[in-house]
């Protein structure tokens, strides 16, 4: 049984930082591209970042480029999202997801497995 479990969300002031983690089990983690997505109330789920199976290739949404960093540790079967210089518009539920396409993609429909999400709230 595949499980993706996110942690690290919370309430932070604008300009602050958070580090999200996503622990994976039940799948050959190092063969999967991994992504982070987010969904704010009343909005569609949107792409945040993706990392290739090796960690050597990353892609970011323009809205987070230069502020967020995605990384992975295949030995720990965990993917991370370091979020700096947070803004109120970053407030959302953040989801990690696994993509059988090892390079990772930006469309939610391409991802096979999803976590339950973790809430990030940025106050102004």
Tens of pLDDT, residue by residue over 40-92, are 999 999 999 999 999 999 999 999 999 999 999 999 999 999 999 999 999 99
State the pLDDT at residue 103: 81
Cross-strand pairs, 119: 93
Tens of pLDDT, residue by residue over 14-45, are 999 999 999 999 999 999 999 999 999 999 99
Cα separation, 22 vs 25, whole angstroms = 10
Residue 41: how many other CB atoms lie within 10 Å: 7
Cross-strand pairs, 22: 6, 79
């Amino acid at each position: 049984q595949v499980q993706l479990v996110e942690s690290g969300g919370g309430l932070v002031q604008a300009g602050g930082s958070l580090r999200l983690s996503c622990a994976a089990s039940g799948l050959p983690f190092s063969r999967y591209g991994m992504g982070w997505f987010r969904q704010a109330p009343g909005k569609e789920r949107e792409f945040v970042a993706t990392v290739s199976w090796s960690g050597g290739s990353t892609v970011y949404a323009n809205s987070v480029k230069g502020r967020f960093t995605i990384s992975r540790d295949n030995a720990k079967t965990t993917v991370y999202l370091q979020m700096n210089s947070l803004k109120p518009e970053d407030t959302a539920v953040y989801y990690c997801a696994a993509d059988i396409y090892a390079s990772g993609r930006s469309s939610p429909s391409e991802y096979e497995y999803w976590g339950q999400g973790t809430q990030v709230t940025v106050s102004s």
